[in-house]
């Protein structure tokens, strides 16, 4: 195909170095025992074989992001007061907005990582609410997705509509061949990113070689179970405390699954102040934590980990679907399984839920997964502290 480029293995670092001159380049590298996405540094190497421990979502949704900074202009302690100004006058505050995000390339992210944008877009780029912090980064970021040649036992992207050579939300698809990378532009933006003289026109045979690698990875994923009706099953099990207590018995209620998850997108906002200066931060939040649902009254509707795990699974496989045209908000990367210190397996919970729901009730009446025709699409669910509030996620 015209536009396909070839990057020799020996030139990868040089090309990323070239891109780094004008852009922020995120690429995976080894750090300790983990593989993390960091700003490219030739001296610290690259890791383009092993699967990254964390997702690349922080390119669009940083762990902790400055929304604005502020300083109170009130006079210093002991200074003579000016006319019309009192020391506690909080209206005298200077607010600064953060700098515009830099153009960014994420190189070598996995197909499942790119699929996560599918979950973020309806939330942060919804019909009613637009999150400028997200949108600016989204518009300034090029995703170069690396096709998986190998899959892990925890991979299940094919269960949820993903693919080892996923191109959805990718700008370029990169496949490692024997002596270099085939770079296939997917979008115009991707094409524009492939202009370096280090990139040669790809030989005609390379596309076929890449397809063989993709097919091999697809085959090794095995068959996906039929998840039809999973949303109805999870809704029907909402009040089945015994089911959720059994499923969550081994859960430690830490945030590993949510923070490594490419599609988890919840945040909390705090003002971090020191003397007269401060920043308003938006940081990742996790529905596995008590504070996530703790109400001002002191009541916590999800005081037990069973309710929290139910929310996590429910959000991925039921609540999000109902609000977003049947889109499952799990991309099947398997990080929550691979890195769970307690070996909790979301695949097993989903399978058990289908079995349990079928055993306790007659099959629920067929419900259209996409409620668009039946009812007006609910407003983009970003409110208050940034949590998605579905009807039944108590």
Partner 1 sequence: MDDELKGAIRKVLPDVDCVIGWGPGPDPLRSAPFFMRKPEEVDAFVVGPLAVNNPAVFLPEYKGKKVGIVVKGCDSRSVVQQIAEGLVKREEVVIIGFPCSGVVDIQKIAAQLGQDIEPGMVTSLSISSDKLTVNVKDTAKTMDMADVRADKCASCQYPNAVVSDEFVGTPKEGKTDDYADLAAFEEKSIDERFAFWEQEMSRCIRCYACRNACPLCVCRDHCVATSREPHWLNQADSTREKLFFQLIHATHLAGRCTGCGECSRACPVGIPVGLFKRTMTRAAARLFDYQAGTNAETVPPLQTFATEEPTIKEREW
One DSSP character per residue, 96-140 reads: EPPPPPPPEEEEEEEHHHHHTHHHHHHHHB-SS-B-HHHHHHHHT
Question: Which residues face 338 on adjacent strands?
Answer: none
What stretch of H or E contains 268? strand 267-274
Count of residues for the chain?
394
Residue in this structure with the two tokens 């990254």, named with its chain if needed:
52
| Binding-site member from 6, 284, 319, 320 for partner 1 (CB under 8 A) | 284
Indicate whether 69 belongs to the interface with partner 1 (CB under 8 A): no
Q: Which of 203, 301, 341, 363 binds partner 1 (CB under 8 A)?
A: 341
Nearer to partner 1, 9 or 283 (CB): 283
Nearer to partner 1, 54 or 131 (CB): 54
Find the shortest distance in angstroms from Cβ 208 to partner 1: 23
* Residue from 12, 194, 337, 357 in contact with partner 1 (CB under 8 A): 337
For 178, the 3-state DSSP assignment is coil
- Other beta carbons within 10 Å of 147: 24
Is the CB of 203 or the CB of 341 nearer to partner 1? 341
- Residue number, 341 or 363, with CB nearest to partner 1: 341
One of 90, 132, 239, 252 touching partner 1 (CB under 8 A): 252
Q: Which of 14, 34, 135, 358 binds partner 1 (CB under 8 A)?
A: 34
Instruction: Out of 1, 76, 99, 291, point to the residue binding partner 1 (CB under 8 A).
Output: 291
Roughly what angle, to the nearest 10 degrees, separates helices 117-124 and 132-139? 140
Instruction: Calculate the CA 31 to chain-centre distance.
Output: 21
**Segment contacting partner 1 by CB under 8 A, of 85-93, 201-209, 231-239, 268-276:** 268-276
Q: Which SS3 state, helix, strand or coil, does residue 243 take?
A: helix
* DSSP calls for 36-95: EEEE--GGG----SSPPSS-SGGGTS-SEEEEEEEEE-PPPTTSPPPTT--TT-TT-EEE
Structure token digits, residue 42: 């030739």
Q: Which of 9, 127, 241, 270 binds partner 1 (CB under 8 A)?
A: 270
Residue with Cβ nearer partner 1 (235 or 259):
259
Write the DSSP symbol of residue 182.
Answer: E
* Residues 129-168 as x/- pattern, contact with partner 1 by CB under 8 A: ---------------------x-xxxx-------------
29 vs 214 by CB, closer to partner 1: 29
Say whether residue 40 binds partner 1 (CB under 8 A).
no
Task: Kindly state whether residue 259 participates in binding partner 1, applying the rule CB under 8 A.
Answer: yes
Cβ atoms of 127 and 177 within 8 Å: the answer is no
User: Of 14, 254, 266, 369, which one interacts with partner 1 (CB under 8 A)?
Assistant: 254
Query: Which string of DSSP letters, residue by residue, matches 286-340?
Result: -TTSGGGT--TTS--TT-SHHHHHHHHHHIIIIIHHHHTTT--S-----HHHHS-
In whole angstroms, give the CA distance from residue 343 to residue 251.
8
- Least separation in angstroms between residue 277's CB and partner 1 is 13
Is residue 45 involved in binding partner 1 (CB under 8 A)? no
Q: Least distance to partner 1 from the beta carbon of 249, Å?
A: 5
**Closest by CA position to 282, among listed 141, 353, 384, 140:** 384
Residues 159-218 that bind partner 1 (CB under 8 A): none
Nearer to partner 1, 135 or 289 (CB): 289
Interacting span for partner 1 (CB under 8 A) from 1-9, 56-64, 136-144, 380-388: 56-64
Q: Is 31 in the site for partner 1 (CB under 8 A)?
A: yes
Is 81 near partner 1 (CB under 8 A)? no
**Pairing between strand 64-72 and 267-274?**
unpaired
SS3 176: strand
Please report, as ranges, the residues that interact with partner 1 according to CB under 8 A.
31-34, 36, 49-51, 53-54, 62-64, 150, 152-155, 246, 249-250, 252-256, 258-260, 268, 270, 272, 279, 281, 283-284, 286, 289-291, 300, 303, 334, 337-339, 341-345, 347-348
């Amino acid at each position: 195909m015209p536009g396909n480029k070839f990057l020799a293995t020996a030139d990868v670092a040089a090309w990323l170095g070239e891109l780094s001159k004008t852009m922020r380049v995120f690429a995976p590298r080894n750090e300790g025992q983990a593989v993390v996405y960091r700003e490219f540094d030739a001296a610290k190497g690259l890791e383009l074989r092993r699967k990254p421990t964390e997702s690349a979502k922080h390119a669009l949704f940083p762990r902790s992001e400055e929304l604005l900074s502020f300083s109170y202009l009130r006079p210093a302690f002991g200074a003579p007061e000016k006319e019309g100004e009192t020391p506690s006058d909080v209206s005298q505050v200077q607010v600064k907005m953060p700098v515009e995000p830099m153009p960014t390339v994420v190189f070598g992210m996995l197909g499942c990582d790119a699929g996560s944008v599918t979950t973020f877009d309806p939330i942060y780029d919804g019909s009613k609410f637009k999150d400028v912090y997200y949108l600016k980064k989204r518009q300034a970021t090029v995703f170069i997705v690396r096709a998986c040649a190998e899959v892990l036992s925890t991979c299940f992207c094919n269960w949820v509509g993903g693919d080892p050579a996923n191109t959805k939300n990718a700008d370029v698809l990169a496949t490692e061949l024997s002596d270099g990378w085939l770079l296939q532009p997917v979008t115009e933006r991707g094409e524009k990113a492939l202009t370096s003289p280090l990139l040669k026109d790809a030989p005609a045979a390379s596309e076929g070689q890449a397809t063989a690698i993709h097919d091999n990875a697809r085959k090794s994923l095995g068959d996906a179970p039929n998840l039809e009706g999973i949303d109805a099953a999870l809704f029907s099990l909402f009040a089945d405390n015994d089911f959720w207590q059994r499923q969550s018995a081994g859960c430690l209620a830490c945030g590993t699954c949510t923070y490594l998850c490419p599609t988890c997108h919840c945040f909390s906002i705090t003002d971090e102040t020191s003397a007269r200066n401060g920043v308003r931060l938006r940081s990742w939040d996790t529905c596995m934590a008590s504070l996530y649902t703790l109400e001002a009254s002191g009541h916590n509707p999800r005081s037990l980990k069973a309710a929290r795990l139910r929310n996590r699974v429910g959000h991925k496989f039921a609540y999000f679907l109902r609000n977003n045209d049947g889109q499952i908000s799990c991309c099947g990367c398997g990080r929550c399984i691979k890195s769970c210190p307690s070996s909790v397996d979301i695949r097993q919970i989903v399978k058990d839920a289908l079995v349990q729901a079928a055993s306790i009730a007659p099959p629920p009446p067929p419900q259209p997964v996409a409620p668009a025709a039946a009812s007006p699409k609910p407003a983009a669910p970003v409110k208050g502290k940034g949590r998605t509030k579905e009807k039944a996620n108590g």
